Amino acid sequence: MDSIIESFSKALSLILNLDRELREIIFLSIEVSGTALIAATIIGLPVSALLGFKRFPLRGAIISMLNTFMGLPPVAVGLFIYLLLSRSGPLGFLALLYTPTAMIIAQTILAFPIVASLSHSAIVSVDPIIRQASMTLGATPLQISLAIIREARYGIISAVIAGLGRVMAEVGAILIVGGNIAGFTRVMTTTIAMETDKGNFELALALGIILLTISLLINLALYFIQKRGVAGVNR
């Protein structure tokens, strides 16, 4: 019990002193996950719009696949990317393995189905009367689609935040493709795993507290955004 309390107090001291190593790890985590999320959003939103507005063969199959991929095991994604990027793999010539770029690719693959699938759900949940109302006011098909996306904005923002939650907490994929190299590919989750293994709980706990705080902030943001969207509808 005493050692836990001691570890906690040392962890808090690390956070309060903004230890340099801690700072670097946090910034890299935010950089990797933030970039992955932006990439997943840039790819995911047009896909969700396409699935929401167009009818084409295999549309149902793609939606089912996206829903399934929302639960992709990170280690499986990590292994897949590893095989692609390893020296003997088809993309080995890019020399991306054990770089932050490889970690971003892995996290993008993990976040993309979440952003695309949840955004699609938000778009198709918009009352069909919005389409008709826009049409009666002389909107072009593109303007109608934009009006619907605007109505789905709270759901889309929730989808992006859910994607962020997924990548910030992820460890398996980035550990495999990033290699957890100190000062280069070491992020919060991989450091926690490693430091715990080493029995060095202070840093692991400090990062755990920060990760939990970030997770709490993400969930709070999600809660308020959803509340705002629902309030608009129910008021």
Partner 1 sequence: MRLGIEVSNITKKYNGDPILRNCSFSFKKPGVYILTGPNGCGKSTFLRISSLIEPPDSGTVIFFSDDNPVPADLQLRRRITLVLPKVGVFNATVFRNIAYGLKIRGIHGREAEEKVNRALEFVRLSHKKDQNGLTLSSGETQRLGIARALVIEPEILFLDEPTASVDQKNSLIIEEIILAMKKENGPTVIMTTHDQSQANRLADTLLVIRDGVLSAGGDRK
Contact residues for partner 1 (CB under 8 A)? Answer: 127, 129-130, 132-140, 143, 147, 150-151, 154, 229, 232-233, 235
Q: Min. distance of Cβ 235 from partner 1 in angstroms? A: 4
150 vs 227, beta carbon nearer partner 1:
150
Q: Min. distance of Cβ 129 from partner 1 in angstroms? A: 4
Q: Min. distance of Cβ 37 from partner 1 in angstroms? A: 25
Asked if residues 122 and 51 have their Cβ atoms less than 8 Å apart, the reply is: no
Q: Min. distance of Cβ 150 from partner 1 in angstroms? A: 7
151 vs 170, beta carbon nearer partner 1:
151
14 vs 147, beta carbon nearer partner 1:
147
d(CA 162, CA 184): 26
- 33's CB contacts (< 8 A; 6+ apart) are 107, 164, 167, 168, 187
Asked if residues 171 and 74 have their Cβ atoms less than 8 Å apart, the reply is: yes
The dihedral through the CA atoms of 178, 180, 183, 187 has a sign that is: positive
d(CA 216, CA 222): 10
33 vs 145, beta carbon nearer partner 1:
145
Q: Min. distance of Cβ 123 from partner 1 in angstroms? A: 14
Among residues 194, 174, 170, 188, which one has the least CA distance to residue 82? 174
1 vs 129, beta carbon nearer partner 1:
129
